[in-house]
Amino acid sequence: MTLSKSLYTRAIQCPKSLWLKKYKPEELSPPDASAKARFETGNVVGDLACELFPNGREIPFDAHDFKSMARLTKTYFDEGVENIYEATFIYEGIVVMVDILRQTPLGLELYEVKSSTDVKPIYLHDISIQLYVLEALGFRVGACHVVHINSSYVREEALELEKLFVVVDVTDEVRDLQGSIPAKLEAFEAYLDDKFHEPNIDIGKQCNDPYECDAKAYCWKVQRNIPEYSIFNIFNLGSKKQQELYAKNIVAIEDIPEDFAMTPLQWQKVENWKKQHTFIDHAAIAEFLETLTYPIYHLDFETFQQAVPEWNGVSPYKQIPFQYSLHVEHRDGTLEHKAFLAETGSDPRRTLAEKLVEDIPLHVNILAYNMSFEKGVIASLAQLFPDLHVRLMHLHDTIKDLMLPFQKGHYVTPVMQGSYSIKYVLPALVPEMELAYKKLDGIQNGGDAMNAFASLYGKSLEEQMKVREQLLKYCELDTLAMVKVLGKLRKVCE
């Protein structure tokens, strides 16, 4: 058996996923832009963490020759190199690369670097297989650690690596897992030995835990025919009720028995779907509309995050606004559009905050969809810039939420599939907007926008201009969509 530590942790999540990776990789979904961005972040964080253990030697990665990597590791080891990055070891076909390996008089220390902000249980399995291999090869390991990002770190002037990273000793937890490894390896080997029989493992909680499995489209849609909107949208995956229905072969909502015990909210979702019924509480919507006065400022931010903060006052993974779109809707129906898009490569927060207070006067109605996000961004800016605090907090306090009528169930259609997120509300109320998004070139959602802006730096001027144009068009559509949704609410109350 040939097994890397990533295949080992894949198999820990689900042995079928390991088998598919080996024998039917074409059934796995390729990583999307967000997954690629996370991978890139992992590389940056990994390189930086090595600076906590300086003057080490790195083993260059060679996907076709792990043996050479292991040989070079041995050479450095024998030379007494204190810190070895990507130290590679092979034992009975199991290949592990230790992010950072330290030689100390008390034995080896293993450091696994993660770009997350805590220690997840799957990391312990990841390190446990490293410890297993090293000890099987006769090395004395003194300690195992996870190095992860400290989310409460706030950058001040120079980056302080000792504060940016948290080093957690997980030796005991990893040792506790050692006894179970041989049986696990034996089980995984049995699956892999049977090349012609796909493991008969049913879908379940493991499909999303700890990661969304890249075989979901295959296992759920192709093999099990799970509809787009199913019992899994009503009942939590792995919950008692979900399992009870699934055990009876019920996955479609229309097949849920009338007498099945449900909460009132679950019952309403099921009934709406079964009857393909649209529910509109006209009085409640009219009441919401009465709270709005013209002109209405429809506001939407785009943000990105940095695992490693580049600017003062930024914490890891904190939302950094770089763009907004503003549609100003007047009583006579005329629309004005204003937009801000930060320059590339510099801290966008001050210029964005100044432009925002310039673009939105005092005492006007501001609408956002899911306002907690916009409020959070504005509150952070207010905290950062004391001279703008009063103006920004005034904006913060006057924002109203266009999501409210949907969140409170005043307008529910089957197309919303039990959700009040704009992703479902918009196609339900303004189907033509969905097409407008699909027609956008390059950037079609917030994740695309975030990745596009974060990767602008380093692109050619021509490429930057193209992406900036795409960003502006995308964000403008977001606030135009809000105008349309509000228009639809007004229409049903006429």
**What does the alpha-carbon distance between residue 361 and residue 244 come to, in Å, rounded to a whole number?**
55
Q: Which of residues 144-203 bind ligand SF4 (CB under 6 A)?
A: 201, 203
- Contact set for ligand SF4, span 270-299 (CB under 6 A): none
- Choose the stretch contacting ligand SF4; rule: CB under 6 A; options: 13-21, 47-55, 247-255, 373-381: 13-21
489 binding ligand SF4? (CB under 6 A): no
Name which position in 3, 14, 94, 433 contacts ligand SF4 (CB under 6 A).
14
Residue from 5, 10, 16, 468 in contact with ligand SF4 (CB under 6 A): 16
How far are the Cα atoms of 137, 200, 437 from residue 174, in angstroms, in the given order?
17, 30, 47
CB of 116 to ligand SF4, least distance (A): 20
Strand partners, 98: 87
Report, in Å, the least distance between residue 199 CB and ligand SF4: 8
Q: Which of residues 200-239 bind ligand SF4 (CB under 6 A)?
A: 201, 203, 206-207, 213, 215-216, 219
Please report, as a single letter, which amino acid is at residue 433: M
Q: Taking the complex as a whole, how short is the minimal distance between the CB of residue 488 and ligand SF4, in angstroms?
A: 37
Nearer to ligand SF4, 27 or 347 (CB): 27
* Residue closer to ligand SF4 (CB basis): 16 or 396: 16
The count of residues in the chain is 494
Sign of the CA dihedral with 103 first, then 106, 110, and 113 last? negative
Cα–Cα distance measured from residue 201 to residue 213, given in angstroms and rounded to the nearest whole number: 13
- Consecutive H or E run containing 147: strand 141-149
Task: List strand residue ranges (DSSP E) for 184-319, in order.
Answer: 279-280, 296-304
C-beta separation of 389 from 361 below 8 A: no
> How crowded is residue 376: how many other Cβ atoms within 10 Å of its Cβ?
16
Tokens linked to 150: 């400290």
Nearer to ligand SF4, 42 or 199 (CB): 199
* Minimum CB distance to ligand SF4 smaller for 215 or for 456: 215
Q: Between residues 203 and 481, which has the closer beta carbon with respect to ligand SF4?
A: 203
Distance between CA atoms of residues 162 and 151, nearest Å: 13
Residue 26: CB minimum distance to ligand SF4, A: 14
Q: How far is the CB of 207 from ligand SF4 (least distance, A)?
A: 3
Residue position matching structure tokens 């080891």 = 77
Could you tell me the smallest distance in angstroms from the CB atom of residue 235 to ligand SF4?
17
Least distance from C-beta 31 to ligand SF4, angstroms? 15
The secondary structure element, H or E, covering residue 264 is: helix 264-275
> Interface mask (CB under 6 A) for ligand SF4, residues 25-44, using x and -?
--------------------
CB of 249 to ligand SF4, least distance (A): 17
Closest CA to 217 of 434, 378, 27: 27
d(CA 488, CA 386): 39
Do strands 335-341 and 411-412 pair parallel, antiparallel, or not at all (unpaired)?
A: unpaired
If one asks whether residue 17 binds ligand SF4 (CB under 6 A), the answer comes out as: yes
Of residues 9 and 206, the one with the C-beta less far from ligand SF4: 206
**DSSP assigned state of 368:** E
CB of residue 14 to ligand SF4, shortest distance in Å? 3
Three-state secondary structure call for residue 453: helix
Size of the site for ligand SF4 (CB under 6 A): 12
Pick the closer one to ligand SF4 by CB: 217 or 335.
Answer: 217
Instruction: Quote the CA–CA distance of 384 and 326 in Å, as a whole number.
Output: 22
Residues binding ligand SF4 (CB under 6 A)? 14, 16-17, 20, 201, 203, 206-207, 213, 215-216, 219
